[in-house]
Structure 1
Amino acid sequence: MSRKPAKSRNRLAGVVLDEATIPRGAADVDHERAVAIFDLIEENAFAVPGRDDGPYTLMISQEESKLTFDVRTAGGELAASIVVSMTPFRPLLKDYFLVCETYYSAIRTASPRQIEAIDRERTTLHNEGADLMAQRLAGKVEIDQATARRLFALVSALRWRV
């Protein structure tokens, strides 16, 4: 019988959106948010420098063009509070959403070659968003590239306008 290896303490075990500042959206928007949260919790590497009291819960709230990431221990203690300005993300998110819309339209009518080209552009923009996320969080939390990608996917889902 095989056993799963124990999960690291340096991870997120939960993500909570502050409903007062990040209201629920249309059903498809809420679904995208739920999928992004599930993916992030399912597999991530997330550590708070100088601490070893994870796993953590990430509580996200929004005020104007800033997201606040409150990182809490299992006991509810605040381990870190990080304010991330969304201003640097705006041009990237605008391009990303445009390419995503193009991709979703293309999968109905375009050739496989066209769809692949659009998907490569979408992946490139997603990677740029992950890099920017990692830069904005550098020195505050330690994350790997895959976690940065999942965080960018979540931020994208939070910022999606229908």
Structure 2
Amino acid sequence: MTAEQRLHRIELPDSAPLPSPYAEADRSQAVADLLVSNRFDPVGLPPGPFALHLEVRDGRLVLDIRDDADQPLRIIALALGPFRRLIKDYHMVVASHEEAVMEGSSDARIQAIDMGRRGLHNEGAELLCERLKGRVALDFETARRLFTLVCALHQRI
């Protein structure tokens, strides 16, 4: 990965905080991890690094890709329909995880819930890669973290 094929900044809309500290921490960690390591290579654009303004607008996931000086380069809008089941399941699993931790459930139960969460992350990442194929090249970890942000954005609407 070169410095040109990566995100150097991620912008999310200013809005109300997420419904729980756990969800907010998950979102913050995804952004921090993305900024440390990612592969984001929009097809047909000049070399980066890139800024990504990510939001949900009119039932679509909007990826507003910008250059280093924050000048718009390309907007990609993806229908959220294919993601809805995964997002809903992800929110249910996160709520179950929070509840299990607060109740002091067994480590085995918490680990089982976390495995389900990882599985949903993987499905979401695969779907995101598929939907962006031919438009943006991503590595799997970048797609997983972006899926976390998609879920966080969806929680806010």
Q: TM-score scaled by structure 1?
A: 0.83
Which residue of the other structure, out of 26, 29, 43, is the alignment partner of 2:37? 43
Aligned residue in 1 for 2:51: 57
SS at match of 1:139: coil
Higher helix share: 2
Matched, 1:97 2:91: yes
Alignment counterpart, residue 8 of structure 1, candidates 3, 8, 17: 3
| Residue from 7, 13, 29 that aligns with 1:18 | 13
Shift of 1:143: 0.4
Deviation at 1:24, TM superposition (A): 3.0
Where does 1:110-125 land on structure 2 (aligned, <5 Å)?
Answer: 110-125=105-120
5+ unaligned residues in a row in structure 1: which ranges?
1-5
The within-5 A match list for 1:77-96 is: 77-96=71-90
SS in 2 for 1:98: helix
SS in 1 for 2:3: coil
Q: Mark the structure with the bigger radius of gyration.
A: 1
Q: Secondary structure at the match of 2:62?
A: strand
1:109 aligned residue? 104
> Is this contact kept in 2: 1:15–1:57, CA < 8 A?
yes
Q: Shift in Å at residue 71 of structure 1?
A: 0.6
Structure-2-length-normalised TM-score: 0.86
- The secondary structure found in structure 2 opposite 1:9 is helix
Distance of 1:159 and 1:92 partners within structure 2? 11
Structure-2 residue corresponding to 1:3: none
Q: CA RMSD in A?
A: 2.2
Q: Percent identity?
A: 36
Shift of 1:87: 1.5
Gaps of 5+ in 2: none
* Residue identity matched to 1:11: R
Contact 1:45 1:144 in 2 (8 A): yes
Does 1:129 pair with 2:121?
no
1:32 CA displacement: 4.1
Please give the alpha-carbon distance, in whole angstroms, between the structure 2 residues aligned to 1:69 and 1:126: 19
Do the aligned partners of residues 120 and 7 (structure 1) sit closer, same or farther apart at CA in structure 2, a change above 3 Å counting? same
Q: 1:36·1:157 contact (CA, 8 Å) conserved in 2?
A: no
